[in-house]
Amino acid sequence: MRDETPERPAPLRFGYTTGSCATATALAAARLLLGGRADDAVEIVLPKGQHVVMRLEFCRTTADGAEAGTIKDAGDDPDVTHGALVFARVALAAAPGVRFHAGPGVGTVTRAGLTLPIGEPAINPVPRRMMTTHLDALAAEYGYTGGFDVTIGVESGEALALKTMNPRLGIVGGLSILGTTGIVRPFSCSAYIASIHQGIDVARANGIAHIAACTGNASEDAMRAHYALPDIALIEMGDFAGAVLKHLRRAPVARLSMCGGFGKLSKLAAGHLDLHSRHSSIDLPLLAQWAANAGASDALQAAIRAANTSQQALTLAQADGVPLGDVVCAHALRVARDIVPASVAVEMFAIDRQGRFVGVAR
């Protein structure tokens, strides 16, 4: 089997989520207000009980409270927020409890289907619980019976959000504050997978019956042109076909179209649910076997086995009139059908590098 992109060597460094950054900065700002102490680092407890110390860029009083900031360190994960300044502004309030507000660079929810109501700042439930737990403990430590108004911001967050799925999900004005464990695992892409799930949930909540899950821009353009689907129906799945298929088991839609490059679809056809080269490879002997089942000559089979890339294998098959694209889509469809409920109508489309359909199965 052959990889088509190089792998990154291990070991890789872990990082911290924006939720952890928000918790650390909110705690530091609140401690300055209640205890008069401006720290240059703060210890927080992550959801699974780990204690971590996070360095602060600043911790200072303001006209109506205090603020603290930290630089988001995503470790070796290719996170869009890596290196961004995450900050919290905290003000004391007479009413008990913690109230959250979207500061500069943090978005606001405008569509149904997310875990937060419309109009709420895009600060996800686990980061909210983390901040509330730490602030409640701090209040108890100082005998404080009032509450906190917490505003979370991300420097340049509105621009960074354009590189995420937030605009399509209906989160406007900035980024989401994310995290379920507090830790960013390198290349786990948990935030990306969560956004895939959110995309499906938002589509369902807004009455979309037909979604198209696409591996990239070319496949998305092909689906948009073929079906005239609205953006809310287009799910950018990247390499995570499994994230789409498994989520549909508990959140089904009436119809799913999956579209990707021929090479990506050939991996799904072989049973791989993560289509990245770190986790799955092009199986040229398997492509040759499938071509044989579709009538390929011995010479074509040998040429496919010796091909440099899946695209070359496809070109060879096309030149001999062997419908390898359709065959690959048919196998990918069987893989998907084994995962999604029978109530979901599924179809597969493969495209070439020019965005033209080279295979389909229904």
The mean pLDDT of 15-30, rounded to a whole number, is 97
The CATH homologous superfamily to which domain 15-184 belongs is: CbiD-like (3.30.2110.10)
> Beta 41-45 vs 174-175: how paired, if at all?
unpaired
User: What is the longest distance spanned by two Cα atoms in the chain?
Assistant: 82
Q: What is the pLDDT of residues 229-280, one digit of tens each?
A: 999 999 999 999 999 999 999 999 999 999 999 999 999 999 999 998 878 8
Predicted confidence at residue 190, as pLDDT, reads 77
DSSP string, 280-324: --B-HHHHHHHHHHTT--HHHHHHHHT-SSHHHHHHHHHHTT--H
pLDDT at position 3 over 50: no
Q: What is the mean pLDDT of the chain?
A: 93
Which two tokens mark 1? 């089997």
Predicted confidence at residue 12, as pLDDT, reads 64
Query: What band does 7 get if pLDDT is binned at 50, 70 and 90?
Result: very low
pTM of the model: 0.81
Query: What band does 353 get if pLDDT is binned at 50, 70 and 90?
Result: confident
Predicted confidence at residue 187, as pLDDT, reads 63
Query: What band does 102 get if pLDDT is binned at 50, 70 and 90?
Result: very high
In the DSSP assignment, the letter for residue 233 is G
Predicted confidence at residue 185, as pLDDT, reads 74
Which of the two residues, 11 and 208, has the higher pLDDT score? 208
% of the chain at pLDDT higher than 90:
85
> Which sequence spans correspond to the domains of the chain?
15-184, 190-361
Query: What band does 11 get if pLDDT is binned at 50, 70 and 90?
Result: low
pLDDT at position 318 over 50: yes
Predicted confidence at residue 191, as pLDDT, reads 78
The mean pLDDT of 39-67, rounded to a whole number, is 97
Are 288 and 301 within 8 A, CB to CB? yes
The mean pLDDT of 282-292, rounded to a whole number, is 97
Q: Which of 12-21, 45-54, 290-299 bottoms out in mean pLDDT, i.e. has the lowest?
A: 12-21
Q: What is the pLDDT of residues 124-177, one digit of tens each?
A: 999 999 999 999 999 999 999 999 999 999 999 999 999 999 999 999 999 999
Q: What is the pLDDT of residues 184-199, one digit of tens each?
A: 876 667 778 988 999 9
Query: What band does 78 get if pLDDT is binned at 50, 70 and 90?
Result: low
